[in-house]
Structure 1
Amino acid sequence: MTGAGAPLVLVQGPEEILAERAVDGVLRTLREREPEVDVVRLHASSYEPGSLAVHASPSLFGGWTAIVVHDMDEGDDDLVEDLFAMVSAPEDGVTLVVRHKSGTRGKKVLDLMKKSGARVIEAKALKTEKDKIGFVRQEFRDAKRSIGDAAVQTLVHAVGKDVRELAVASAQLIRDTTGTVDEETVHLYYGDKVETTGFKVAEAALAGDQAEALRLLRHALAGGLDPVPLIAVLAMQLRQVGRVAAAGRGNPGALARDLGMAPWQVEQAQRTARGWDGQRLGRAIQAVAAADVEVKGGVRTGTAVARDPEYAVERAVLTVCRERAAG
């Protein structure tokens, strides 16, 4: 068998939802070819020596078997050795799907699978905002639907901390709406979550709106948002403004390619940068960097200086607002 039904399939990478979809896709394609395929799932945490060989043994009644090995990177020596033996001498009528999140555990099995022509499916971590924006856009493309730039940004800011939740939110919007999804629609569904994110706090602070920034900040903290990501978002937004300002005026599309940003991010940063100069922006970045150290317990100095992380965030937000207002 070839393609998606190849006898060896390696799904590697830490993003669980992408890995689950990959495994489901392989099994779905296999069932199209072999409707009576027997699916066996083995987990590293409960693996017993010899189980692979038992399940891969030919049945008296024939048929195809798909063996999915979950979390091979957490497996003991018995699982690694059994996998190596099976890949070295594969059984007829068996598709082996190995799930490996990260690390070097079982590397000899991974190397042998690749050398033997295994189909490799990547499930890379979606960490950055750019990654998650791309993920949302792909969800809508796959559903043959469209979503506006501002709507994508709002959705990622609202629920983008967890990719699985982002997938669920995208599916709900695709299912419950028609036409192009706009920012207003996203606010209608996820407005409460948007209001409690650090992005709204950062947006108000960078605009110099102290009252609104403090209101949103206290709302976010009261809702349980940790000070660490709040500071991280504020720092990221300041850095983006600094990078765009330093790049000078230009077409957002061209600048986006040069800076590794989305065009709408460049446009937003260009608008924000008009109220800043280099010195004030530098002081704001320094204040946020100092707060970052404090909320993490004084990492750079080795001393626990953060007696009140929430106060450290508030002080940083106030400093950003004052620097913006000083222009």
Structure 2
Amino acid sequence: MSSPPASPADHGPGIGSETGTGISVAPVPLRLIVGDEELLVERAVASALVSARAADPSADLRRVAAATLTRPELAELVSPSLFAEGRVVVLEAAHEAGKEVASAITDYAADPADGVCLVVLHAGGARGKALADALRAAGAEVTECARLTKYDERVDFVRAEIRRAGGRITQDGIRVFIDAVGNDLRELASAAAQLVSDTDGAVDEAAIRRYHRGRAEVTGFAVAEKAITGDRAGALEALRWAIVLGVPAVLVADALADAVRTVAKVGAAGRGDPYRMAGALGMPPWKVRKAQGQARGWRPAGIELAMAAVAEVNADVKGAAADPNYALERAVMRVVQARDAT
């Protein structure tokens, strides 16, 4: 059966959660996620995992690039556990699978194993379409995650995000919000949640203009991203806008720490396929891929200095410093300088 696009507002109690009768429903054994909008795809995968863990809290998550699989490896991944432990197996980029593996996936779909939820990610389009069609025919639950290219689609997305965060927004407010933040779904989602929190849920044009002042949303992550890539001027400008817009100092400090830790983890793991590395590192493939680019230019000595800087600023913004904004500015400059450390 086909479900609507993976709008965050639509993720209520899913299959595998407890129903009103208190009976746990078995998770869906076969899911097909079609599209390449990363935010929506990751949310759909997360929904599948939540459903599986509602039935079995110990359910394991395994992600693998379909193009690297062999038929025996697939068979091993989807074989039932001897101890009846639940498992969610995510096949990344299934449209790139070879004929033999695509055939094996189709064969498995006809008789899926108990306790295993197979989640097949397909970019859509003509490549590998036969596999997607076969999975639909086999009764896979389908979630559409195509890129939102039309303005009306982004309007619907923003409205859903505001509602998901517990707020409400006017039609004029949505227009102003998109003009201020831009078209990136991750930024829209982050800004929506922040705005609902800051306005107690009543989001209107005046509130948006007051917080955004005609500029794109500046978050702690925007500051951290520029700092971690060595963009001193950009990071300081983003920080000053974040301060003007009222982004809490603690959130900026947390974002800096997260960026440094992520680069440290991904850099230490070495080069490799983001899809294969994602499970071991405990982060989605898009984040691994992004951090791999950011990690270039960083050396162990620099990471050590940056870790010390973000640890210190974390204490500073929680009361150790008289001026948390000055502490943040100093931390940003220390992270930028650490990147060039030998």
Q: The TM-score by the shorter chain falls in which range?
A: 0.5 to 0.7
- CA distance in structure 1 between the partners assigned to 2:169 and 2:56 by the alignment: 37
- CA distance in structure 2 between the partners assigned to 1:45 and 1:174 by the alignment: 41
The equivalent residue for 1:186 is: 208
Q: CA deviation at 1:45?
A: 5.2
- CA distance in structure 2 between the partners assigned to 1:179 and 1:36 by the alignment: 36
1:58 counterpart letter in structure 2: P
1:298-327 superposed Cα distances (whole Å, 9 cap, x missing partner): xxxxxxxxxxxxxxxxxxxxxxxxxxxxxx
TM-score normalised to the size of structure 2?
A: 0.52
1:131 counterpart letter in structure 2: E
Alignment pair present for 1:170 and 2:192 = yes
The equivalent residue for 2:55 is: 33
Q: CA deviation at 1:188?
A: 2.9
Please state whether the residue corresponding to 2:180 is helix, strand or coil: helix
The equivalent residue for 2:172 is: 150
Q: CA deviation at 1:99?
A: 0.9
- CA distance in structure 1 between the partners assigned to 2:172 and 2:194 by the alignment: 18
Q: CA deviation at 1:155?
A: 1.1
Question: Runs of 5+ in structure 1 lacking a partner?
Answer: 196-327
Whether the 8 Å CA contact 1:50–1:82 is kept in 2: the answer is: no
1:13-36 superposed Cα distances (whole Å, 9 cap, x missing partner): 232211211111121111111111
Question: Runs of 5+ in structure 2 lacking a partner?
Answer: 1-13, 17-26, 218-342
Q: CA deviation at 1:184?
A: 2.5
TM-score normalised to the size of structure 1?
A: 0.54
Query: CA 1:76–1:176 in 2, change beyond 3 Å: closer, same or farther?
Result: farther
Please state whether the residue corresponding to 1:39 is helix, strand or coil: strand
Q: CA deviation at 1:11?
A: 0.9
Q: CA deviation at 1:104?
A: 2.4
Please state whether the residue corresponding to 2:64 is helix, strand or coil: strand
How does 1:130-279 map onto structure 2 within 5 Å? Answer: 130-193=152-215
Query: CA 1:191–1:50 in 2, change beyond 3 Å: closer, same or farther?
Result: farther
Alignment pair present for 1:64 and 2:98 = no
The equivalent residue for 2:39 is: 17
1:109-132 superposed Cα distances (whole Å, 9 cap, x missing partner): 222221221111111321121111
Whether the 8 Å CA contact 1:133–1:153 is kept in 2: the answer is: yes
1:50-89 superposed Cα distances (whole Å, 9 cap, x missing partner): 3211111232222122111111123333432331232233
Query: CA 1:59–1:137 in 2, change beyond 3 Å: closer, same or farther?
Result: same
Whether the 8 Å CA contact 1:129–1:156 is kept in 2: the answer is: no
1:87 counterpart letter in structure 2: A
Alignment pair present for 1:80 and 2:102 = yes
The equivalent residue for 1:201 is: none
Larger Rg: 1
Whether the 8 Å CA contact 1:145–1:180 is kept in 2: the answer is: yes
Q: CA deviation at 1:39?
A: 1.4
Alignment pair present for 1:51 and 2:73 = yes
Q: What is the total number of aligned residue pairs between the two structures?
A: 195
- CA distance in structure 2 between the partners assigned to 1:179 and 1:162 by the alignment: 22
The equivalent residue for 1:91 is: 113
Root mean square deviation of aligned Cα: 2.4
Please state whether the residue corresponding to 2:194 is helix, strand or coil: helix
1:112 aligned to which of 134, 138, 153:
134
Whether the 8 Å CA contact 2:154–2:183 is kept in 1: the answer is: no
1:135 counterpart letter in structure 2: F
- CA distance in structure 1 between the partners assigned to 2:74 and 2:172 by the alignment: 50
Please state whether the residue corresponding to 1:193 is helix, strand or coil: coil
- CA distance in structure 2 between the partners assigned to 1:187 and 1:166 by the alignment: 15
Whether the 8 Å CA contact 1:13–1:101 is kept in 2: the answer is: yes
- CA distance in structure 1 between the partners assigned to 2:216 and 2:82 by the alignment: 58
Whether the 8 Å CA contact 1:68–1:96 is kept in 2: the answer is: yes
Q: CA deviation at 1:192?
A: 4.7
Of all paired residues, the percent bearing the same amino acid is: 37
Q: CA deviation at 1:156?
A: 0.7
Query: CA 1:70–1:193 in 2, change beyond 3 Å: closer, same or farther?
Result: same
